[in-house]
Amino acid sequence: MKLSKKIKKIIKLKSKRKLVCLTAYSKPIAKILDKYCDIILVGDSVATAFYGMKSTKEIKLDTMIAHNKSVKKAIRKSTLVFDMPFNSYRNIKEAKKNIKKIFKKTSCDAVKLESNGKNFNILKKLVQSGIPVMGHIGYTPQYKGKFKPQGIKNNEQKKLINEALKIQKAGAFSIVLECINSDTAKKITNRINIPTIGIGSSNSCDGQILVFDDLIGLSGFYPKFVKKYINLQKIIENVLKKFRRDVISSRFPSKLHTY
- As annotated, the active-site residues are 178
H or E element: which one contains 66? Answer: helix 61-72
Question: Do the beta carbons of residue 135 and residue 113 sit within 8 Å?
Answer: yes
Alpha helices of 118-203 — where are they, by DSSP H? 120-128, 154-170, 182-191
Out of 7, 10, 14, 43, the only residue in the binding site for ligand KIV (CB under 6 A) is 43
| 130 vs 145, beta carbon nearer ligand KIV | 145
| 124 vs 178, beta carbon nearer ligand KIV | 178
Q: How far is the CB of 207 from ligand KIV (least distance, A)?
A: 11
Q: Which stretch binds ligand KIV (CB under 6 A): 25-33, 37-45, 84-92, 187-195?
A: 37-45
Q: How far is the CB of 199 from ligand KIV (least distance, A)?
A: 5
Of 161-200, binders to ligand KIV (CB under 6 A) are 176, 199
Q: How far is the CB of 238 from ligand KIV (least distance, A)?
A: 28
Q: How far is the CB of 101 from ligand KIV (least distance, A)?
A: 20
Q: Report the distance separating Cα 202 and Cα 185, nearest Å.
A: 7
| 23 near ligand KIV (CB under 6 A) | yes
C-alpha distances out from residue 6 to 3, 46, 147, 229, Å: 8, 24, 33, 29
| 168 vs 201, beta carbon nearer ligand KIV | 201
Q: Report the distance separating Cα 68 and Cα 46, nearest Å.
A: 11
Question: Do the beta carbons of residue 112 and residue 136 sit within 8 Å?
Answer: yes
Angle between helices 92-106 and 120-128 (to 10 degrees): 50
Q: How far is the CB of 19 from ligand KIV (least distance, A)?
A: 12
Listed residue (148, 97, 140) closest to 118, CA to CA: 140
- Among all residues, whose Cβ is closest to ligand KIV? 43
| 44 near ligand KIV (CB under 6 A) | yes
Binding mask 65-84 toward ligand KIV (x if CB under 6 A, else -) reads ------------------x-
DSSP string, 211-249: -HHHHTT-S----TT------HHHHHHHHHHHHHHHHHT
| 211 near ligand KIV (CB under 6 A) | yes
SS3 assignment, position 153:
coil
Which positions touch ligand KIV (CB under 6 A)?
A: 23, 41, 43-45, 83, 176, 199, 209, 211
